[in-house]
Every structure is written in structure tokens, then in C-alpha cells.
Amino acid sequence: MPLTHFDVGSHTETIGAVAVGALLATVGGVAANQLEAYFRRRDRERTAALLLGETLSGLRVLLQGAERARHIGEPYGPFTLRLLHAARRELDIYDRNRESLLDLRNAALRVDVHVVMVSIAMPLDGMIDSIVNPGGGDNETRDQAFFFILENVAKIKPLVDRLGRIARHRFDDFDRIPRATAAAPSPVPSSSPGE
């Protein structure tokens, strides 16, 4: 039986259109996947920056409050200790979510955040232990640790500003927390003459 000649000529346009369509669908699919991955990465980075910015801001407020509490009554009394424990809980939030650092594309920012957190955590843990355990240390040693913590607390605001640019969020509300002052009580408003 003779083999019949396969007629390609009449179907060339159809085959060409199918090939071009398949190529365009493949390119479109790859581009859509890349675009989706980009937006997903960007969303994860913004979420990580928001979480870390909130944690750092809360930590800063608590440690500044502990600094003010040290100057009222017993320097390392119960109120100061509660503020230090609250700051430790903020550090625990960071520890539980530390992998979110990897979502930040800026390697220098990742390192800066981690170094500040570790530089605060180590002396803070030592201070809490020395306050909780009698004979664990004296106030002079605690003061030295606290001054080291405060040096690192001063580094938090610039880090939060950098994280805020990534998260497209301003953490200024933490700066509006009222500061305790030893002001005299406000006067009682006097009644108007007609009352």
C-alpha cells in the first residue's frame, strides 16, 4: 500500500496560530506567576515590617516607662519590675516571629533589628533575674545594665522609621503616649458669675 502524502500546506496557518497561541499562553502564565510571586513577597515584607515596627515601638515605650519608674520610689521596685517583665514579653513576641525577618529584603535592616533585640534581651534578662532573686545583684550593677539597654533603646526609633517606610505605615502613635510628670493637679474651674 502506498503511503499518502501528508498535506501540510492547507493547514499551515492553523498550526502556526496554535503554536503562537501556545507560546503566548505560556509567556502569559509565567508572567502572571512572576507578578503574583512579586506581590506575595511584597505583602509578606510589609506584614513583617509592620509586626517588627509595632514590637520595637512597644518595647521602646515600655523601657522608657521603666526608666521613668526607676526615679520614683524604689529604683527597682515592683512597678519597675512589671514594666521590665512587659518588655520581656515584647521580646518574646519577636523571638516567636523572628523568621519574619527573612521577609525583609534589606539585609542590613535585618541585621540591625536583630542586633538591637539581642543587645536589649541579654541585659534585660540579667536585670530581671537580679531583681527577682535576692542577692542576685546590687542597684549599681543593675544601673549599668539599664544604661546599656537605654543606649540600644535610642537606636529603635531610626529602625522603626525604616520599617515604617517598608510597611507604608507611621508608628507615630507610640510617640503620643502621655509622659508622666510631677505637675501640680489641675485647678478646679471656677463657676461663672451668673451661676
Helices (H), 70-106: 78-96
In DSSP notation, 20-32 reads HHHHHHHHHHHHH
What is the reported pLDDT for 4? Answer: 55
Res 188: pLDDT:
43
Place of cell 500546506: 9
- Domains, in order of start, for the chain: 46-170 (1.20.120)
Please give the single-letter amino acid code of residue 120. Answer: I
Distance (Å, whole) CA 40 – CA 37: 5
Say what percent of the chain tops pLDDT 90: 56
> Residue 111: exposed, middle, or buried by beta-carbon count in 10 A (0-12, 13-18, 19+)?
exposed
Task: Indicate the SS3 state at residue 134.
Answer: coil
H/E element, 108? helix 107-132
**Distance from the Cα of residue 99 to its chain's centroid:** 12
pLDDT band at 178 (very low <50, low <70, confident <90, very high): low
For residues 67 and 146, the answer to whether their CB atoms sit within 8 Å is yes
pLDDT in tens, 21-50: 888 888 888 888 777 777 788 999 999 999
Tell me, what's the pLDDT at 26? 85
Q: Is the pLDDT of residue 181 over 50?
A: no
Length of the chain: 195
- Amino acid identity, residue 147? F
Q: What is the dihedral of CA 81, 84, 90, 96, to 10 degrees?
A: -80
- Mean pLDDT for the stretch of residues 99-120: 96
pLDDT at site 6: 53
The percent of residues above 70 in pLDDT, for the chain, comes to: 84
| Tens of pLDDT, residues 119-154 | 999 999 999 999 988 777 788 999 999 999 999 999
Q: pTM value?
A: 0.73
Asked if 182 and 68 count as a contact pair (C-beta separation under 8 A), the reply is no
Are 116 and 157 in contact by the 8 Å Cβ rule? The answer is: no
Which region among 9-13, 32-36, 89-93, 154-158 has the lowest average model confidence (pLDDT)?
Answer: 9-13
Mean of pLDDT over the chain: 84
- Examine the pLDDT at 82 and tell me if it is beyond 60: yes
**Range from 15-19, 49-53, 72-76, 85-89 carrying the lowest mean pLDDT:** 15-19
Determine the average pLDDT of the residues in 92-110. 95
DSSP 133: S
